Structure 1
Amino acid sequence: MKGKIGLVVGLGVGYVLGTRAGRERYEQIKTQWLKVWHTDPVQEQVARVQDFAKSQAAAVPGAVWNGAVKVVKAASSSGTPAEKLDKAVDAAKDAAGGVADAAEDATEGVQKRAAERKSAAKPAPKSSAQKNGS
Structure 2
Amino acid sequence: MGPIMWKLSLAVGFAAGYVLGSRAGRQRYEQISKVTRQIARNPAVQGAADRARQQAGAVAGKAAGAVADRVGDRLPNAVTDRVPYFSRSRTEDDGWGTFRP
TM-score (norm 1): 0.42
CA distance in 1, matches of 2:18, 2:72: 49
Q: CA RMSD in A?
A: 3.0
Equivalent residue number for residue 79 of structure 1: none
Of the candidates 6, 14, 17, which is equivalent to residue 13 of structure 1?
A: 17
CA contact (8 A) 2:19 2:29 kept: no
Q: Aligned pair in 2 of structure 1 residues 69, 17: CA closer, same or farther (>3 Å)? A: closer
What's the CA shift string for 1:61-81, capped at 9, x where partnerless?
A: 1111122223248xxxxxxxx
Identity %: 23
- Which has the larger helix fraction? 1
Gaps of 5+ in 2: 77-101
CA contact (8 A) 1:16 1:26 kept: no
Following superposition, the deviation at residue 10 of structure 1 comes to 4.7
CA distance in 2, matches of 1:52, 1:38: 21
TM-score (norm 2): 0.53
CA contact (8 A) 1:36 1:42 kept: yes
CA contact (8 A) 1:37 1:43 kept: yes
CA contact (8 A) 2:40 2:46 kept: yes
Q: Aligned pair in 2 of structure 1 residues 15, 39: CA closer, same or farther (>3 Å)? A: closer
CA distance in 2, matches of 1:40, 1:63: 35
Q: Aligned pair in 2 of structure 1 residues 40, 17: CA closer, same or farther (>3 Å)? A: same
Q: Aligned pair in 2 of structure 1 residues 54, 71: CA closer, same or farther (>3 Å)? A: same
The number of aligned residues is 69
Alignment partner of 1:62: what SS?
Answer: helix
**1:67 corresponds to 2:70:** yes
Gaps of 5+ in 1: 74-134
